[in-house]
Structure 1
Amino acid sequence: MTDDLLERAVAYLLAVLPAIGPDLSAPTPCRLWNTRMLLAHIDESIAALRDGLANGHVRLTPGAPVATCAGTVHIRSRAEALLDDWANEHPESVVVFDKPVSTRVLGTVGALELTIHAWDLTATAPTAPPIPDHLARELLTVAPNLVPAADRWPLFAPPIEPPTTTPTDRLLAYLGRLQPPP
């Protein structure tokens, strides 16, 4: 696993955001979430990562609600700030749920979270790019440790059979998702 995993995940998110249309009520692959809710969740995830890097602990607090398509501008700004935080000096470990976790693990969890939810956004943005193979391949190697087969519900659906052997299809299927048909 390389140290730039979080940076590549954020780059993918930033590549997806311009394709998001003005209809933030559009459904996403995240059950019961529309685009607005998914953007708000991404905002919360970025806030938690930034909090961990800045303060040495992650407080799980909601992000600001995303009310309009300007929400993608907000997410872009926050994602770019996360990249700056990641590039600057930060603690070696952070406290998450009262347990110390290495900052590298925090970055890996963040990379998986941001990549998968960026892909979820592509359901409402057909012109958005797919997950890069090298990113999907690397996340697939860590996903079983971060999202074990047991105790994954309600955050992730059970693994399903991937339709192909591409790294993206295998990663998505492990997390209970399928690519839409072409």
Structure 2
Amino acid sequence: MDTNEQQKTVGVGELMARAGARAVPVVAGIGDAVLSAPTPCAEYDVRSLVNHLFQVVVEFRKPAVKQDSDFSVTVDRVGEGPDWRERFAGAVAELVAAWSAPGAEEGTSGSMNMPARLVGLMAVLDLTVHAWDLARATGQPYEAPPEVVAPLAEAVAELSPTARSMGVFGEPVAVGADASPFVRLLAATGRGE
């Protein structure tokens, strides 16, 4: 079995668990004093990016059970109470459970009409890249789980044309020949290290 085949055998739920295990501590480490700080995502400060990532974590549970997600309104979950960090951790655990269930990766996903595995990888991508954004914005260390980078790079290559036209990804950033796979992934989404 070659490396690509091995990567495809790793379930989305497992990839989410690994990405979530890196994202949860970053969110837990965000102090209230930095909520208005800018992030690498120009349209988001820390608070609004946490709320966006929280929405992703909650709404991407639905495609795992073949329901439609609703991204029309972003709830201010940070404003719902001081336990938002713990609620985020709980929501990530629920997301992982949803995508670890039998059949979650099979077929297509609701109104997105995309392969379910690709939709699940979109959630893993947000957990990975936005955790890096938040770590960067709040002065925390972050290292992507190496095993998620290759499957995400493939997903980004597939999603890029549509994602760029919708403004979800920025234009790719040039990187050096010695750039790590994660830096290349960030660059493909329009982020420079």
TM-score between the two structures when normalised by the length of structure 1: 0.83
Identical counterparts, % of pairs: 26
| Structure 1 segments unaligned to the other structure (5+ residues) | none
Q: How many residues align?
A: 177
After alignment, is 79-88 or 147-156 more displaced?
147-156
Question: How many angstroms apart in 2 are the aligned matches of 1:82 and 1:173?
Answer: 26
SS at 2:175 equivalent:
coil
- Given the alignment of the two structures, is residue 165 of structure 1 paired with residue 179 of structure 2, yes or no? yes
Question: How many angstroms apart in 2 are the aligned matches of 1:71 and 1:177?
Answer: 27
Task: Name which of 115, 132, 150 aligns with 2:128.
Answer: 115
Question: How many angstroms apart in 2 are the aligned matches of 1:160 and 1:178?
Answer: 6
Query: In the alignment, residue 32 of structure 1 is paired with which amino acid?
Result: E
Query: In the alignment, residue 110 of structure 2 is paired with which amino acid?
Result: V
- Given the alignment of the two structures, is residue 71 of structure 1 paired with residue 81 of structure 2, yes or no? no
1:69, CA displacement in angstroms? 5.6
Q: Which has the higher helix share?
A: 2
Instruction: Show the 5 A alignment for 1:96-175.
Output: 96-97=111-112, 99=113, 101-148=114-161, 151-163=164-176, 164-175=178-189
Query: In the alignment, residue 45 of structure 1 is paired with which amino acid?
Result: V
After alignment, is 134-143 or 18-27 more displaced?
134-143
- Given the alignment of the two structures, is residue 14 of structure 1 paired with residue 29 of structure 2, yes or no? no
Is the alpha carbon distance of 1:73 and 1:175 closer, same or farther for their aligned partners in structure 2, counting shifts above 3 Å?
A: same
Question: How many angstroms apart in 1 are the aligned matches of 2:101 and 2:163?
Answer: 36
Q: Report runs of 4+ in structure 1 exceeding 4 Å deviation.
A: none
Query: In the alignment, residue 35 of structure 2 is paired with which amino acid?
Result: L
Query: In the alignment, residue 171 of structure 1 is paired with which amino acid?
Result: L
Task: Name which of 50, 54, 58 aligns with 1:47.
Answer: 58
Task: Name which of 65, 75, 84 aligns with 2:97.
Answer: 84
Give the root-mean-square deviation of aligned CA atoms: 2.3
| 1:62-117, Cα deviation, whole Å (9 max, x unpaired) | 342022663322211111111122223455332134x2x33222211111122111
| 1:114-167, Cα deviation, whole Å (9 max, x unpaired) | 211111111133233221333223312321102228844521210011244201
Is the alpha carbon distance of 1:134 and 1:62 closer, same or farther for their aligned partners in structure 2, counting shifts above 3 Å?
A: same
SS at 1:105 equivalent:
helix
Question: How many angstroms apart in 2 are the aligned matches of 1:149 and 1:57?
Answer: 19
Native 8 Å contact 1:28 1:34 kept in 2:
yes
Question: How many angstroms apart in 2 are the aligned matches of 1:61 and 1:11?
Answer: 27
| Structure 2 segments unaligned to the other structure (5+ residues) | 1-7
Question: How many angstroms apart in 1 are the aligned matches of 2:21 and 2:125?
Answer: 13
TM-score between the two structures when normalised by the length of structure 2: 0.79
SS at 1:129 equivalent:
coil
1:170, CA displacement in angstroms? 0.6
